[in-house]
Amino acid sequence: MRLVILEDYDQASEWAAKYICNRIIQFKPSQGRYFTLGLPTGSTPLGCYKKLIEYHKNGDLSFKYVKTFNMDEYVGLPRNHPESYHSYMWNNFFKHIDIDPNNAHILDGNAPDLQAECDAFEKKIEEAGGIDLFVGGIGPDGHIAFNEPGSSLSSRTRLKTLAMDTILANAKYFDGDLSKVPTMALTVGVGTVMDAREVMILITGAHKAFALYKAIEEGVNHMWTVSAFQQHPRTIFVCDEDATLELRVKTVKYFKENLFSPNYTSTENAIV
């Protein structure tokens, strides 16, 4: 496990974007050999997506041979609703890059059979050869995707009822009206993300500091589902200074002394 501490949100976003970019470049994707990327939504990854769009428009990065799988989607919200995760991904990322729409996979929260939709999503990931890099964010209560506190750490893609803390946090996207916030969602499971060959989790802001502490300084606990990634062989937590406020001083010192570059795996064609 690695913890990368940057000064602020912008630097953390840029570091994460460089890492994603360099992993794709070093993979050398081509027809029949796609790089498979898991993606989150929410406010945290927006800065990262903006930098990836910048790299693409500068000619440094192509998504032509990239397949993506998003973490989650609300149930019952129309696909074209401005707060659906379909709308989020297309407005904030996909429409600005050269990805084939057929290669951008997002769960359908309006499918007639929601369990069948979840099972099919898992099958698509398997058929794609698994996820090369799964990028995620977390909530203040340490949930990843919509794996709320108490979720099984071996869970797969499924229907979940959202915790009240999550509904309250998401109300800002629905004019502050709790009655408009969906109460259920389809989400990849903790086990689904754990199966990825590599996981990168973005954590920024003081309001996520206690969750980061629970994620890396205490034991694995299903009440803090992000803590499961202590056991993944290749996990990177990328955070800003504010998110470290609950960590021990020597923990912060240790990881700052061992900071590695986003292009550490290779310098060939890397974005530095």
User: Each residue of 106-158: pLDDT tens digit?
Assistant: 999 999 999 999 999 999 999 999 999 999 999 999 999 999 999 999 999 99
Question: Strands 133-137 and 199-203: what pairing?
Answer: parallel
Per-residue pLDDT, 271 = 54
Tokens of 254: 């240790």
Rounded Cα gap, residues 243 and 44, in angstroms? 12
Catalytic residue, candidates 14, 73, 117, 141: 141
Query: Which residues on neighbouring strands pair with residue 224, listed in sequence order?
Result: 221
What phi and psi, each to the nearest 5 degrees, are found at residue 140? -60, -25
pTM of the model: 0.94
Contact 186, 147 (CB under 8 A): no
Per-residue pLDDT, 263 = 58
Catalytic residue, candidates 14, 117, 122, 148: 148
Distance, CA of 4 to chain centre? 16
What is the average per-residue pLDDT within 2-12?
A: 97
56 is catalytic: no
127 is catalytic: no
Contact 36, 130 (CB under 8 A): yes
Q: DSSP secondary-structure letter at 228? A: G
Catalytic residue, candidates 14, 56, 72, 240: 72
195 is catalytic: no
Rounded Cα gap, residues 178 and 165, in angstroms? 11
Q: How far is CA 72 from CA 176, 194, 270, in A?
A: 21, 15, 30
Looking at the predicted structure, is the pLDDT value of residue 3 above 90?
yes
Tell me the pLDDT band of 169, cut-offs 50, 70 and 90: confident
218 is catalytic: no
Taking only the tens place, the pLDDT of each residue in 223-272 is 999 999 999 999 999 999 999 999 999 999 999 998 766 754 443 445 54
